[in-house]
Chain A
Amino acid sequence: MKVEDFDMFSTMLKQRSGLVLSRDKAYLLESRLMPVARKWNMKGLDELAVAIRTRREEALLRDITEAMTTNESSFFRDQKPFDQFRDVVLPMMLAKRAARRSIRIWSAACSSGQEGYSLAIMLLEQGAKLDGWRFEIVGTDLSSEMVEKAKAGIYTQFEVQRGLPITQLVKYFKQVGDKWQINDKIRQMVTFREYNLLTDLTPLGQFDVVFCRNVLIYFDQPTKGKVLESIAKLMPTDGVLYLGGAETVLGITERFKPMDNQRGLYVVNQPAGAQAPRAAVG
């Protein structure tokens, strides 16, 4: 691939999705964009590059961005964060929201929806102790294709075997041909919408718990900081943020700090002086 073509693709991807593509990842462009080129009746990436320069057609740019952003997900991915949710975060939130009895959870960059559905399953498994509580789980992703897939809740045999115990497959899914669809009760607990993390997030509303796992790793430092600051604005002072195993807030933003003894969990940092009693207005 020509250097100027690589630079053009990577600049475009950075602007649209925050994705940072280093030169050694050029092979990813080849493998992921060939299907896009074929879909648009082009012979290869050279022709694709020409089309971007000359037409800048939104639908084409969108296809390229969606093809390049990683869409890996699985049910109960990494397991531990979900155990922490059940054992630490949920009990804490139940105590803090006892008056309101409602909790909002955001699965940011949700891909095909498994994280949100895993949380819904986990909540249902809690049984009667959550009676009278309202849980709203919102999943967002930059890719319209992923959002559609998440909404449909239909997964391949491979996907339902990654992380999902067989008893839960039997309990919460129905077989549709050679695929598996999550049942209506679970689907109604999660809403999905297309949303870009680099845009203004305030229309999404406030979230008590935010899952933003394995997203920041694709961004450069300033973009990580910007996204974390916009997430902080959506969270109450007692909110909890989840990051992926290879991610941290340290050295990136002061808006969050690690939760004591809970790896991967972060709490909102109170600005200095915010907790101090206000000086009397005199």
Chain B
Amino acid sequence: MKSCLVVDDSRVVRKVARKILEELHFACSEAEDGRQAMEACAREMPHAILLDWNMPVMTGIEFLRRLRKMSGGDAPKVVFCTTENDLAHIQEALSAGANEYIMKPFDSDIIQTKFAQVGLI
């Protein structure tokens, strides 16, 4: 079973995403901000990370840049999942090492196709 870390400061979004991902047979863990996500990745690298952009303490993009410099940090497939929906943000995410990008609102179809495209499913 593949693991997915869901990083979002909204408890509701984490719950919805978790439900969708568990239906896709992912073992999920959660983090409320970038720093918690860093700690989780330091303990164990997940296969996938579903990542919000705007969060307190540490933003998603900052987390991603740090993750990609960590030992083993190039392994997880990172899928942004954010309300930021303009080209500039998407390009910034891709150049920071994101594998896919979901613009909120999302549904299970979108998560499924995006995860399939990066080879997680």
- Residue numbers of A with Cβ under 8 A of B are 79, 157-158, 161-163, 165-167, 169-170, 174-175, 178
B117 at the interface (CB under 8 A from A): yes
> A166, B110: Cβ atoms under 8 Å?
no
- Residue numbers of B with Cβ under 8 A of A are 85-87, 90-91, 94, 100-103, 106, 109-110, 113-114, 116-117
> A165, B100: Cβ atoms under 8 Å?
yes
Contacts A161-B113, A166-B90, A175-B86 known; 12 new A-B pairs at CB < 8 A: A157-B85, A157-B103, A161-B102, A161-B106, A162-B109, A162-B110, A166-B94, A167-B94, A170-B87, A170-B90, A174-B87, A175-B87
A161 vs B82: C-alpha distance when bound (angstroms): 13
A140 vs B92: C-alpha distance when bound (angstroms): 38
* Least CB distance, B49 to chain A, in whole angstroms: 15
Known contacts A157-B85, A161-B103, A161-B106; is A169 also within 8 Å of B113 by CB? no
Known contacts A79-B116, A157-B85, A162-B113; is A170 also within 8 Å of B91 by CB? yes
A167 vs B118: C-alpha distance when bound (angstroms): 11
A158 vs B108: C-alpha distance when bound (angstroms): 12
* Least CB distance, B107 to chain A, in whole angstroms: 8
A-B contact pairs, 19 of them (CB 8 A): A79-B116, A157-B85, A157-B103, A161-B102, A161-B103, A161-B106, A161-B110, A161-B113, A163-B113, A165-B100, A166-B90, A166-B94, A166-B100, A167-B94, A169-B90, A170-B87, A170-B94, A174-B87, A175-B87
* Least CB distance, A173 to chain B, in whole angstroms: 9
Q: For B113, list chain A residues within 8 Å (CB).
A: 161-163
Q: For B102, list chain A residues within 8 Å (CB).
A: 161
* Least CB distance, B81 to chain A, in whole angstroms: 11
* Least CB distance, B48 to chain A, in whole angstroms: 15
A167 vs B90: C-alpha distance when bound (angstroms): 9
Q: For B110, list chain A residues within 8 Å (CB).
A: 158, 161-162
